[in-house]
A and B are shown apart, each in its own frame.
Chain A
Amino acid sequence: MSIIEKVQYIWPEIAMFIATCVVMVLGLSPSLAIRRLCSPVCGAALVIAGLLAVMGPDTAPAALPHLMPYAKVIVAGVGLLLLLLLAGTVDREEESLIATGRARFNPLRTNRAEFYAFFLFSLTGVMLCASASDLIWLFLALELTSLPTYIMVTVSTRGRSHEAGVKYFFLGALGAATFLYGFAMLYGGTGTTDLSGIRQHFAEHGINSIAMLGLLLSVLGIGFKIAAVPMHFYTPDVYEGAAAPVSAFLAFVPKTAGFLAIMLIASLPGWGYGPVAGADGVIRDGLGAGASLPEALRLTLWVMAALTMTVGNVLALWQNSVKRILAYSSIAHSGYMLVGIIAGPVGERFIDNGLAAVLFYLLAYGVMNVGTFAVLACLEKSGGAALQSGARSTGLETGATTEIETVDDLRGLCRTHPAMGWTMVLCSLSLLGFPPLLGFMGKFPLFTAGIAAGEIPLVIVLGINSAIAAFYYLRLVAAPLLEDPSPASPPATPTPFPARPMAALLSAASVLILVGFAGVLMKQSAKAGETVVSPGHTAGRGASDGVAAWNP
């Protein structure tokens, strides 16, 4: 496929890129009215990108032909929620000083332009992951998703975010080097970086050891993006150090990019492996005989999934900071979704298709995750926790306030701040997978797909973990709903940004309302999860389908 033909699939990304360039200039304007345009321009770009994705070509010649429109629309949709939440994250002190006339606008001290531009860049990277048809493209898309987030973490608060940013950057670079080495091995084993070319090579010649090493290293490296064991260490510290809106961003955006990339990598060998008797009578793994990933890859993902959900859920039990609880829960949710990747597309129906389950769960997780973090972003308390943690006093702080942090701060929230309290209750119940909320709709197909694929032990681990998770999610539910406000801690006050409660209420409403549209969403995600490498294709047929798909 020539580069000109590829352009028709990436109009949403092109629109986002143009908006990014515009935002970078607008944010540096000395006029406040123009600086304020950053956020609406980002919003318009996301809406346009979503519309372009819907109107664009429905079918692409790739392993997952219908993936692009769905993935891009959910990224744009959750991106809009995140954009509302990000209001006022950077430059709050600067802007208040300028507004009161105590400082003049200095383009060197403002972060607004870069912050919003990096926000759009990162989302563009996720969309490009969905369109990737080549390892080089996939590598660049993953890096485009990650590099801006390092800066977003660092500039998000004055307190601990520098340490968080440095830690995130270093482990991110380690992850990137790992999957890059994996991509190099995949190229070495097959002689091409084109995803369909690699798939065809695997179908015709099997998987040699170098390519298998490449697959494993790629999955391990991309594990950083989804915060999977053994690349999960950064998660709690980074989420705690960054401002709550940026933590919400980190929990959705790199994770989506990572899962899209893992889907593409797993679709290279496909889910049709099983024991085949070779010409010499020896039984070994071959394409087309079974319904699972190649054994080594399946085992790696299996161990990653089981460890990821267990580590995430068990460690979350001991936390007292809400952000750390949500960080460990984010690790656990990656483990749940890996079950869908292992199961793969077992059948045509939604409940049999693990990939569709993952795609649906990404949307559900994005929405409910934004809701919980939004509650933290909407409320603040006076007090100098940020100063104690080593922020250098610049003499510019205007009544230092910090985000609410511990579970104690949530106590009695349903009475003191009913909207926020109920958002927390609804979104936590949804994260727990409480029927009939959105989280339940998302988790259910992961179970059924796992059972359909015959991964019974893993489904049992998933069930046990969902039960463990109830302990800490119910703490987040009980504190605002049942307990009295804590007399010891100062009362929480709302932040002066009306967009943030709007994000919280929209996510809480979506957790309820999207259940009504679950049928439509499931149909769309089932379509997006269809593959041309589904099991049951024999080696020859799988290969010829791939070729036919690539030469429309």
Chain B
Amino acid sequence: MTTLAQANLPAVMHQLTLAHYLFVSAAMFVLGLIGFVTRRNLIIMFLCTELMFQAAGIALVAFSRFHLNHTGEAFVIFVITVAAAEAAMGLALVVLLFRRRESLSAEEWAEMKG
């Protein structure tokens, strides 16, 4: 079995540290948050929350490697499962709303105000 060090990888791969992964993860989380707040299309907003979930997943795997235990990887399996359940539920709800409204815009929420 080849380890990461023995694998035929470009040299730059060996210089990746925890910080790089955390940077990617934080960027994904923040982009997801910004997208959720600014975009009005329900599908895009849903994908933004998925982006935030997967950002946490990347952080967990990176930390798992950093701490040399498998807890984070186990956590990620659960995160992916829950994200899948949420996806099924969220898309079903969006389809239901689309059938009533013929629109995917979150502006449709404006009905209840006060």
**Interfacial residues, chain A to chain B (CB-CB below 8 A):** 135-136, 139-140, 143, 147, 150-151, 154, 160, 162-167, 169-170, 173-174, 176-178, 180-181, 183-185, 187-188, 191-193, 236-237, 240-241, 318-319, 321, 324, 389-390, 392
Q: A188-B62, A390-B111 are in contact. List 6 more A-B contacts (CB 8 A).
A: A163-B112, A166-B93, A173-B49, A188-B59, A236-B114, A318-B114
A164–B108 Cα gap in the complex (Å)? 11
Scan residues 32-74 of chain B and give those whose CB is less than 8 A from a CB of chain A: 32-33, 36, 42, 45-46, 49, 52-53, 55-57, 59-60, 62-63, 66-67, 69, 71-72, 74
Contact residues of A: prevailing secondary structure: helix
Task: Among A135, A177, A188, A191, point to the contact of B53 (Cβ < 8 A).
Answer: A177
Shortest Cβ distance from A545 into chain B, in angstroms? 24
A319–B113 Cα gap in the complex (Å)? 10
Q: Tell me whether A177 and B49 are in contact (CB under 8 A).
A: yes
Q: Tell me whether B93 and A135 are in contact (CB under 8 A).
A: no
Q: Tell me whether A174 and B49 are in contact (CB under 8 A).
A: yes
Q: Tell me whether B100 and A162 are in contact (CB under 8 A).
A: yes
Chain B residues with CB under 8 A of A237: 109, 112-113
Task: Among B29, B62, B72, point to the contact of A181 (Cβ < 8 A).
Answer: B29
Q: Tell me whether A187 and B71 are in contact (CB under 8 A).
A: yes
A-B residue pairs in contact (CB < 8 Å), sample of 14: A139-B82, A147-B85, A150-B89, A150-B93, A163-B97, A164-B112, A165-B96, A166-B96, A170-B90, A178-B52, A180-B56, A181-B59, A324-B114, A390-B111
Task: Among A139, A160, A163, A187, point to the contact of B78 (Cβ < 8 A).
Answer: A139
Q: Tell me whether B82 and A140 are in contact (CB under 8 A).
A: yes
Q: Tell me whether B112 and A240 are in contact (CB under 8 A).
A: yes
A421–B51 Cα gap in the complex (Å)? 49
Chain A residues with CB under 8 A of B114: 236, 318-319, 321, 324
**Interfacial residues, chain B to chain A (CB-CB below 8 A):** 22, 29, 32-33, 36, 42, 45-46, 49, 52-53, 55-57, 59-60, 62-63, 66-67, 69, 71-72, 74-75, 78-79, 82, 85-86, 89-90, 93-94, 96-97, 100, 106, 108-109, 111-114
Task: Among A136, A154, A180, point to the contact of B74 (Cβ < 8 A).
Answer: A136
Shortest Cβ distance from A88 into chain B, in angstroms? 22
Q: Tell me whether B111 and A188 are in contact (CB under 8 A).
A: no
Chain B residues with CB under 8 A of A173: 46, 49, 86, 90
Chain A residues with CB under 8 A of B113: 237
Task: Among B46, B69, B75, B78, point to the contact of A170 (Cβ < 8 A).
Answer: B46
Shortest Cβ distance from A186 into chain B, in angstroms? 10
A445–B82 Cα gap in the complex (Å)? 38
Shortest Cβ distance from B82 into chain A, in angstroms? 5
Q: Tell me whether B85 and A166 are in contact (CB under 8 A).
A: no
Given A170-B42, A170-B46, A324-B114; A177-B100 close (CB under 8 Å): no
A536–B114 Cα gap in the complex (Å)? 47
Shortest Cβ distance from B26 into chain A, in angstroms? 9
3 tightest CB-CB pairs across the interface, nearest first? A177-B52, A188-B63, A191-B67
Q: Tell me whether A187 and B75 are in contact (CB under 8 A).
A: yes
Shortest Cβ distance from B77 into chain A, in angstroms? 9
Q: Tell me whether B108 and A163 are in contact (CB under 8 A).
A: yes
A188–B69 Cα gap in the complex (Å)? 11
Chain B residues with CB under 8 A of A184: 56-57, 59-60, 63, 72, 75
Q: Tell me whether A136 and B75 are in contact (CB under 8 A).
A: yes
Q: Tell me whether A177 and B60 are in contact (CB under 8 A).
A: no
Given A163-B109, A167-B109, A241-B112; A143-B82 close (CB under 8 Å): yes
Q: Tell me whether A181 and B74 are in contact (CB under 8 A).
A: no
Residue of B nearest to A153 (CB): B93
Chain B residues with CB under 8 A of A324: 114
Q: Tell me whether B112 and A160 are in contact (CB under 8 A).
A: yes
Q: Tell me whether A188 and B66 are in contact (CB under 8 A).
A: yes
Q: Tell me whether A180 and B79 are in contact (CB under 8 A).
A: yes
Shortest Cβ distance from A2 into chain B, in angstroms? 16
